[in-house]
Amino acid sequence: MPYEPPTHTVERSIRATTGAKIIAGVDEVGRGAWAGPVTVCAAVTGLRRPPAGLTDSKLISPKRRAELAEELEKWVTSHALGHASPEEIDELGMTAALRLAAIRALDALPVRPDAVILDGKHDYLGQPWRVRTVIKGDQSCIAVAAASVLAKVRRDAMMAELEAESEQYAVFGFGHNAGYPSPVHKAALREWGPTPYHRLSWAYLDALPQWRHLKKVRISAEAAELESGGQLGFDF
């Protein structure tokens, strides 16, 4: 399906209306996974023309995504990644974990951005950052699209490394499903139960009576609201 390539339109608007000079595009990956961290990338691109084919990472084949990530690492002005662990997700809830990962990414940039373009409609970053949220920003904004590709490729690699670490983790197929629900992942959970890399506060454990005792109770009201809304529950 043809798609419009991303542009610098939002970045130019922020520059014109706020005077910001350094603007970072921020995107996350791993929000809906059952295992592994949530990963956030902050990318600063300036106003240069991007590598051909740049768009939302989900619209790019794995092979091309990996190739594009290599190009982007050389092309972007700067970028950095931040992660929040499964334990932090269980303890804080997803919104706070996303903020933690995003702050880690932004703090790791060599120069602090004047403004941030955040993919989606919800500002999980907040003060003191100057944030512009953009729905489908990973398709429309060059800096956010770059961040989406870099975050996706790095997190997928982390999950593949985890699968290769031992036979215990290989049965979950993390190298193929990146910790998201899949038939292989679900079957392994039924047979072996969650690993130390699984999120233990999530609703999938409700469908596993033999492992339900491992479920952690979330502290934050925000996390409970997300789960009750069905975002985190999946049928086996």
**What does the pLDDT average to over 172-177?**
96
Closest CA relative to residue 142, chosen from 83, 77, 64, 81:
77
Does the pLDDT value for residue 227 go beyond 80?
no
The pLDDT of residue 220? 52
H or E element that contains 115: strand 115-119
The pLDDT of residue 4? 84
pLDDT tens digits, one per residue of 32-48: 999 999 999 999 999 99
Q: The whole model's pTM is what?
A: 0.89
How far is residue 181's CA from residue 174's CA, in Å, rounded to a whole number? 10
Closest CA relative to residue 40, chosen from 95, 111, 114:
95
Q: How long a stretch of residues is the chain?
A: 236
DSSP letters for 212-230: GGGPPPPS-HHHHHHHHTT
Closest CA relative to residue 112, chosen from 132, 138, 130, 134:
130
pLDDT tens digits, one per residue of 99-142: 999 999 999 999 999 999 999 999 999 999 999 999 999 999 99
Structural contact between residues 36 and 178, judged by C-beta atoms closer than 8 angstroms: yes
For the chain, give the percent of residues with pLDDT over 70. Answer: 91
Q: Residue 25's pLDDT band (boundaries 50, 70, 90)?
A: very high
pLDDT tens digits, one per residue of 180-189: 999 999 999 9
Q: Of the ranges 16-20, 69-73, 162-166, which one carries the lowest mean pLDDT score? A: 162-166
Structural contact between residues 108 and 80, judged by C-beta atoms closer than 8 angstroms: yes
Lookup: tokens for 149: 């590709």
| Position with higher pLDDT, 162 vs 166 | 162
The pLDDT of residue 236? 31
For the chain, give the percent of residues with pLDDT over 90. Answer: 83
SS3 label, residue 92: helix
Continuous H helices in the chain? 9-18, 62-75, 86-92, 94-108, 137-140, 142-165, 167-170, 174-177, 183-192, 221-228
